[in-house]
Structure 1
């Protein structure tokens, strides 16, 4: 039984470890702090809710069942963390965010204080590591403590669920954020199931019935799945966006290679900074973009507008669209100019050169699809004319 709680705590710990670098880099970023705090609270809830941990805490303190309010306090803190994070995510005026933050702090801080007051007033000499909720459901003050933590959790789940569902329609166009909101909504719906099952078992005790299995057998797996889904809901938006950016950078770096290779003979004004084997892809991409931009700037004076327009007309005659014809002609001109500049056949600044309208990425993709553009250009233009 305890191992399942610890496994869930470990999985949540992995999520916390993933978010920790962003938290450390974030400095005073309250959103990063709150995500880290929420995951830490979730880890603590499942770790301390394990029956073995409960027994150990009781033994160390010498107070029977003191692990109960410890777990309830952690769960209440988790509820408050979720609400605070949703408040920050939704945003609003500084005054409204500040009011909501103080309301969460005040209300859930009061709940935590009352939990310990009720525990101190109650009788709890018989240690229960798995069924404290139902065993003490009819005991004065312990009953109030149990009901208070369940109601506090239920209210937090209902409020958070309402905020999430009202927000869901506003983030549908943002793939990863929308997925995160949907996962959070599912996780909080499962938390409602957990609260409902627990409350049914407790209320059954008030009526003299025994439905303890709902609390001891049915509720823990629901809570475990809910915790994991909620953790994914908070982690995936950031992880997904990061992965998407990395994939886009990788794709652009690869797609720019044909143009970079074609321009490698054009000397840049500044020598490129040597890149190590483990240099980040984003840094490599920035260097490639810069090198291409500098090379194209040096080539522009050598692009003959007349020859370029002639090439455009030739491609139009071949059945290309206006946009395709322009890109093909500019790609031909760039390749030819780069080849001539590399061997020193153009000198000085021929003015004014043709201005390129295609982006470097568009030119490079054309070069990938049409590696024989320079040969086609030579066949189309008269000998000695520089279409570059």
Structure 2
């Protein structure tokens, strides 16, 4: 279990980085994507370097006791800088680049301070889990510890306030993502606060090292998990909405496919049913089968029946779309019956009037299916589009009716 929380947190953060990597490759110059990928990558590196087994390996390979400490603190500081750059791009404004550059330079100075104080200090005894409290009173090492903790606390505080403030201005998956990012940063604040309290207790002669060895890693791990979820939510929400809409449309078209089922089977017009496919793929399969059947029935469509049915329903309801759907339902049902009856007249000899000038479009198919299924045409709800953060890409909505 030693270091398990660190490695699991690192894996979660780098999983989020892996999900964002394709977008970064397609939009290399997008500063928002670069910043958020840097946040995920550096946060994962912090957990990796801070794990006790990694600490021992780094110290042993380098031959320098506690060298892993300044390396971890430098990674934490780099994470802080990336977080501030990300916040700057969230806020926007005319001086984004200048402000981001200032934050980067400020935290670069902190990294330099960590390196200098470690070189000037003396930490001969290796401490893998409680270096912060063990050397809290050691000259220069104490300054190094306080420096990185204050830098981290500043970064997570600004990130928390900005994320939660921005969450009130957006909706949908983006709002949920920003809220989770703010909560994740707040949990991250527990890491530096717990360590600062433990260090302060050490200065006053008390031993509260458990805060730094138990509470602090737990807060950091929880913050990492919530942060990853916050990054992924705005990416997943549009896809989930797309799949849900495609699934509902797929189910909605079933009455129409059922009416055409015998024809599709006899004439081998149905493509093989996809297995383990996404809702969007299944919807395309069902639509293709329906269009194949309607194309085959084109010669059997009765224009007079269409006109009579449409006129009757329109007079009764005053709804043109419902009248059109009812007319198509009557024509399709009639065509299926005539096509299946060998005693029926050949299509060319039927007095059907002028041919229908167009087949029903995708939007009309759903309404026709509603009529055939006994539901009022056009009753299927259409969910609203979800907001996405700048710099991300989403697939077009599949399954729109």
SS at match of 1:359: helix
State the alpha-carbon separation in 2 of the partners of residues 231 and 4 from structure 1: 15
Q: Is the 8 A contact 2:167 2:176 kept in 1?
A: no
2:249 is the alignment partner of 1:244: no
Gap change, CA 1:285 and 1:219, over 3 Å in 2 = same
Residue 201 to residue 323, structure 1, CA distance change in 2 (3 Å): farther
Determine whether 1:187 maps to 2:184.
yes
The answer on 1:6 being equivalent to 2:10 is no
What secondary structure does 1:229 align onto? helix
Q: Distance in 2 between matches of 1:249 and 1:30?
A: 33
Residue in 2 that maps onto 1:362: 367
> Does the aligned pair in 2 maintain the 1:69–1:119 contact within 8 Å?
yes
Distance in 2 of aligned mates of 1:361 and 1:13: 43
Distance change in 2, residues 1:335/1:86 (3 Å): farther
Summarize the Cα distance change of 1:366–1:307 in structure 2 as closer, same or farther, 3 Å threshold: closer
Q: Relative contact order (C-alpha < 8 Å, sep 6+): which is higher?
A: 2
C-alpha deviations, 1:77-135, integer Å up to 9, x for none?
222233333444x3634x43323322332222222222112212212222111111112
Q: Partner residue of 1:39?
A: 40
Count the aligned residue pairs: 358
CA contact (8 A) 1:258 1:365 kept: yes
> Paired residue for 1:92?
92
Q: Structure 1: which 5+ residue stretches go unaligned?
A: 372-388
* Shift, 1:281, TM fit: 4.6
Say if 1:305 and 1:353, in contact at 8 Å, map to a contact too.
no
1:2-22 Cα distance to aligned partner (Å, 9 max, x none): 223223323334444444444
Partner of 1:350: 354
How many angstroms does 1:329 deviate by? 2.4
Q: Hey, what does 1:381 align to over in structure 2?
A: none
3-state SS of the aligned residue for 2:169?
A: helix
Distance of 1:158 and 1:16 partners within structure 2: 23
SS of residue matched to 1:115: helix
| Structure 2 equivalent of residue 132 of structure 1 | 131
1:282 aligned partner: 280
Alpha-carbon offset, residue 194 of structure 1: 2.3
Match of 1:219 in 2: 216
TM-score, normalised by the number of residues in structure 2: 0.75
- Structure 2 Cα separation of the partners of residues 251 and 85 of structure 1: 38
Q: Which residue of 1 aligns with 2:313?
A: 311
Larger mean Cα displacement after TM superposition, 203-212 or 232-241: 203-212
